[in-house]
Structure 1
Amino acid sequence: MMQRYFKFLSVPYRYARVRVNSREFKKFTQEKGFKSFLRVLIISLQVAFSYLFLPISFAFKMCGFRFVNVDLEQIGSIFYLDLLLREYALAGLNHKKIFVMAPSESLANRYLVKLYRSHCCLIHSQFLCLLLSPFFLSPVYREDSGVNFDTTNFEKPITNSIFQKFEKKIGKSLVEMPQEDISDCRKQLENLSIRDPIVCIHARDTGFYGIKSQNTRNADINNYFEASEYLIQKGYQVVRVGDPSATKLDKKFGSLGNKFFDYAHSELRSEMLDIYLMSQCVFFIGCTSGPSAIPMLFNTRSVNVNWYNPQSAFLSLEGDLCLLKKLVSIKKGENLSLPELLTPPFTKNLTMNELHQLGYLLEDNTPEEIRLAVTVAVEGLEIGCDGADYITDQHFCFGHRGRFLESKHLAGVRGEFSQDRDLYDKSKVQHLV
């Protein structure tokens, strides 16, 4: 009962580029219920107290204290926590003075968050979070929330700079799975004949959030059959990760035998195994969804397909691949080019209805296009790409720069974490598709 009260009184998360009360106010205007009204009133009072405590907040910040308020209920937002702690480490801040709001009852992945405990002080108690709310909501600590790392704003290369400097100074990821945990996870998988090398696949659908209108980032897992078949032919074990509410697989996946494992619907699922699979795989096939951020935290390569929108695709490790969804003009029947996709209004996360009003349809990648992206990644690994822009005219692989793969032609973009962000001449590689 007490936990329910504390949840109701809980401190709201700061969202990148979203005012702290805006989501609660929107919910109130939609529901117009007493509980919603009371929730908005409580949050307003918490914000008011944060202003009363401004002098103390300023003093704490001058002494090196940080109060981090990141939405850890969503697994992708743990990426913001990672970035902030990298930034603090580069600045030489004392990790004992960094307080992170992390109520145990609402964490997306408790195991992953706990890996950061040697880099900060995690506040798991709802009661303590409530007591410290004047600081977690203080405008003094507004930037200690990931607001500068908005993935839809690639004009400010803050993320780029942090990753480059951290890699140069530290030379490894901020967090790592303990070896004993890796051994434990490997043993659990081997009991089901699941052995390295492993490639993981995640396709977002409506199941997890249950909001049908949020479908622009969805993908159909059944379009990944050809890519999975190719990977198995190349000697890889393919593991589909996700939530139990995820779309069921077509019967054709049964022909892949035990080399394809539907972990999302298995009883083996655990928070530790989730992170093991996404961090220790050879590479991760993701989409525009929270899990796609996890491999980056551990310097694991990704092949992201069905990506929408292109702005956030710059948020990738050097050498990652990205296959964009297609925006097709209803009148002309032509795809927007990559440079056009990087101009307003297409830089925003427009809904299907908004796109249709503008005269465009959003199309998923075809099974053939997904297989192409995976083929390029595998061939790059087999060649042992050493950082050259192109090995030959026939190969496009992991290496010096992040990559985009675009429908109807292959295009390259230097990723957010490489030195620059330049478009490559598409004519050089058109013949690949």
Structure 2
Amino acid sequence: MTQLGLNSHRHTILLARPDQIVNPCFLDYWKPYIDIVTEPESIEKLTPLSDSLQDVLAGIRFSDRRTLPYFEAWAVVQREWEKQQRSPLLRLSDSHLERGWDCLASLGVPRDAWFVCLHVREPGFHQDKKGLYQTFRNANIDTYTLAMETVRERGGYVIRLGDPSMTPLAPMSGVIDYAHSDLKSDWMDIFLCGACRFYIGTTSGLSHVPPTFGVPCAMTNWTPMGIRSPYGADLLIPKLYWLESEQRYLSLAESIDPQIGYIQYAPFLAEKRIKPVDNSPEDINALVIEMLERMEETGNYTEADHGLQREFDKISAKYTAYSSRFSRDFLKKYSDILF
């Protein structure tokens, strides 16, 4: 925001306790932009000041005195960044690339190959087996098998990201279950996110790492709709919402409205008798095919396709528009439901 002049110039300091750093390698990449304090003694001295000086990220204040929810603010900022055709903030170092490709080679991926990353959110990371947290953002890894096969048919490899709590993948040629690999590390996580051709994911925190390196994402099972997908290079398909009391799907306008679209906890959706419906394997595969076509510059959008996208843009603009494009085939298939 500061580089774009969207907020007042400020000296940003991050107090990062070593035991709270999820990925030290990724944090290091931000050192050119943020003063990062990790020494326990310095943190102890500065912590009393943080209560008065810290940014509250739930609401982002702009230089024009607007204050927006963070998920609307990041869409505004990213759209302006892309409008000015600025480069990604981060770039993998040459040594990081060399080290990462050496590791991939040990996993059976040739240096001249290309690969995509796949991450499907599961409850293990948050230890939420009872559904009290944001479990409706989870999905079933088995529904991605068809898409993985498509990537393999096109000559690419698939690297499954995550942690050891995730459901193991069935063996498949050219698909590496890195989440269960002994070679898993913080630096390799970041290499994979920053060096893949594109990333296939769900609404989880990891999905924001690839775009910082300029890597496009094919976002599946996107939910809730009120949380914006801010990156212009991304494609997405949302979970449909089934309203049990009326035995129908909610329209896009209903799903994105703050009364529904800002709900991030499963019990609140259940109170409204709304059931999120996961994407089908066929819908996920169609999205991945479209992303592959974009990467190969072979994709084709008809005027009807653009028209459906404009219809969604009009709906979402009421609350701050999405920057990402909806999947072409998804809009066609569900146009009678969505609009």
- Shorter-chain TM-score: what band? 0.7 to 0.9
Aligned to 1:148: 60
Distance 1:182 1:427 in 2: 35
Aligned to 2:332: 430
User: Is 1:228 paired with 2:148?
Assistant: yes
Give the letter aligned to residue 430 of structure 1: K
Aligned to 2:41: 127
* SS, match of residue 277 in structure 1: helix
Q: Decide whether the 8 Å contact of 2:147 with 2:288 is kept in 1.
A: yes
Question: Match for 1:328 among 235, 238, 242?
Answer: 242
Q: Decide whether the 8 Å contact of 2:263 with 2:269 is kept in 1.
A: no
**TM-score with structure 2 setting the length:** 0.81
Distance 1:206 1:429 in 2: 29
User: Is 1:345 paired with 2:259?
Assistant: yes
Question: Match for 2:121 among 190, 197, 204?
Answer: 204
**TM-score with structure 1 setting the length:** 0.65
State the number of aligned residues: 317
Distance 1:429 1:343 in 2: 19
Deviations 1:125-148 (A, max 9, x none): 22321211132221x4435x4641
Distance 1:235 1:244 in 2: 27
Provide closer, same or farther for how the CA distance between residues 367 and 324 of structure 1 changes in structure 2, counting only shifts above 3 A.
Answer: same
Question: Match for 1:376 among 290, 297, 303?
Answer: 290
Structure 1, gaps ≥5 residues long: 1-86, 397-402, 405-409
Deviations 1:46-79 (A, max 9, x none): xxxxxxxxxxxxxxxxxxxxxxxxxxxxxxxxxx
User: Is 1:178 paired with 2:178?
Assistant: no
Alignment of 1:213-224 (within 5 A): 213-214=132-133, 215-224=135-144
Provide closer, same or farther for how the CA distance between residues 241 and 377 of structure 1 changes in structure 2, counting only shifts above 3 A.
Answer: same
Provide closer, same or farther for how the CA distance between residues 343 and 158 of structure 1 changes in structure 2, counting only shifts above 3 A.
Answer: closer
- Cα deviation for residue 283 of structure 1 reads 0.8
Aligned to 2:301: 391
Deviations 1:351-401 (A, max 9, x none): 33332331221221111111111122112223356xxxx6336978xxxxx
* SS, match of residue 376 in structure 1: helix
Distance 1:104 1:268 in 2: 22
Structure 2, gaps ≥5 residues long: 62-67
Distance 1:335 1:226 in 2: 25
Aligned to 2:64: none
Give the letter aligned to residue 148 of structure 1: I
Q: Which has the larger radius of gyration?
A: 1
Give the letter aligned to residue 302 of structure 2: T
**Quick one: percent identity of the two aligned structures?**
23
Alignment of 1:34-433 (within 5 A): 87-91=1-5, 97-138=11-52, 140-143=53-56, 145=57, 147-148=59-60, 157-167=72-82, 171-195=86-110, 196-212=113-129, 213-214=132-133, 215-249=135-169, 253-254=170-171, 256-257=172-173, 259-312=174-227, 314-384=228-298, 391-392=301-302, 412-413=312-313, 421=322, 430=332
Provide closer, same or farther for how the CA distance between residues 428 and 322 of structure 1 changes in structure 2, counting only shifts above 3 A.
Answer: closer
Provide closer, same or farther for how the CA distance between residues 275 and 421 of structure 1 changes in structure 2, counting only shifts above 3 A.
Answer: closer
Provide closer, same or farther for how the CA distance between residues 260 and 202 of structure 1 changes in structure 2, counting only shifts above 3 A.
Answer: same
* SS, match of residue 310 in structure 1: coil
* SS, match of residue 225 in structure 1: helix
Provide closer, same or farther for how the CA distance between residues 351 and 283 of structure 1 changes in structure 2, counting only shifts above 3 A.
Answer: same
Distance 2:330 2:142 in 1: 32
Give the letter aligned to residue 19 of structure 2: E
- Cα deviation for residue 124 of structure 1 reads 0.2
**Greater RCO, CA 8 A, separation 6+:** 2
Give the letter aligned to residue 319 of structure 1: A
